[in-house]
């Protein structure tokens, strides 16, 4: 079974390789355009390619998307025979790039920063509630003045630490957003 499978796979791979070798892709250039008011346009494209001996498939890129098929004209030297031609629209699939991976990683970092920022905001809100309750509670008698001062100083230091962390997170977020914008701008202009 293995001996029969190997030649079959070899034959299939050689056939695919031969088809790819016999396909030549070339871009056309627009050499002349005439625009008819209300009736469309006449576009003349030129593409030059060197063909080798044998049967080959030629793919010409960069021509009109919806031509009048009856007006397509192909010319070649006498020693070349055109067996057939057809027009169809082909769009190459977008391949993921390193920029796409980088963009996703940066966006994930921004989401993490937003999450950490929200957690810090919640901690600040809870600290504020604790401080307000200690100053406005009716049973303040349970906490002495010096203890209340120590508690206030502790929470003030905690709030200051969190606010500094919030500021650093905001700076990091702005830096990441600048990188995301730069990558997005490169992708749209390129």
- Which H/E stretch holds residue 153? helix 145-189
Task: List CB contacts of 85: < 8 A, sequence separation 6 or more.
Answer: 72, 74
Does pLDDT of 12 surpass 70?
Answer: no
Question: What is the distance between the terminal CA atoms of the chain, rounded to a whole angstrom?
Answer: 51
What is residue 96's predicted lDDT score, i.e. its pLDDT?
Answer: 64
Q: Rounded CA gap, 56 and 54, in Å? A: 6
What is residue 13's predicted lDDT score, i.e. its pLDDT?
Answer: 42
Strand 57-61 with 40-46, pairing: unpaired
117, burial (CB in 10 Å: exposed 0-12, middle 13-18, buried 19+): middle
Q: 54-67, pLDDT tens digit by residue?
A: 788 878 887 776 77
Domain ranges of the chain: 22-92, 98-189
- Which H/E stretch holds residue 30? strand 29-36
Q: Which two tokens stand for residue 7?
A: 């030649």
Q: What is the pTM of this model?
A: 0.40
**In the block, which residue shows the tokens 């034959």?**
11
Q: 62-97, pLDDT tens digit by residue?
A: 777 677 777 777 777 888 777 777 777 776 776 666
């Amino acid at each position: 079974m293995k001996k029969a499978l190997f030649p079959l796979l070899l034959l299939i791979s050689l056939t695919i390789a031969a088809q790819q070798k016999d396909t030549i892709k070339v871009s056309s250039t627009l050499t002349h355009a005439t625009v008819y008011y209300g009736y469309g346009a006449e576009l003349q494209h030129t593409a030059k390619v060197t063909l080798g001996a044998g049967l080959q498939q030629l793919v010409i890129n960069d021509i009109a998307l919806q031509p009048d098929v009856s007006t397509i004209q192909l010319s070649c030297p006498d020693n070349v025979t055109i067996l057939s031609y057809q027009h169809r629209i082909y769009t190459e699939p977008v391949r993921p790039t390193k920029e796409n991976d980088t963009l996703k990683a940066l966006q994930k970092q921004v989401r993490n920063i937003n999450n950490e920022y929200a957690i810090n905001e919640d901690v600040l809100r809870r600290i504020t509630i604790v401080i307000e309750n200690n100053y406005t509670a009716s049973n303040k008698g349970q906490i002495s003045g010096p203890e209340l001062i120590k508690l206030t100083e502790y929470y003030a230091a905690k709030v200051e630490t969190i606010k500094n962390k919030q500021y650093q997170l905001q700076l990091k977020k702005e830096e990441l957003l600048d990188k995301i914008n730069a990558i997005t701008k490169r992708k749209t202009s390129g």
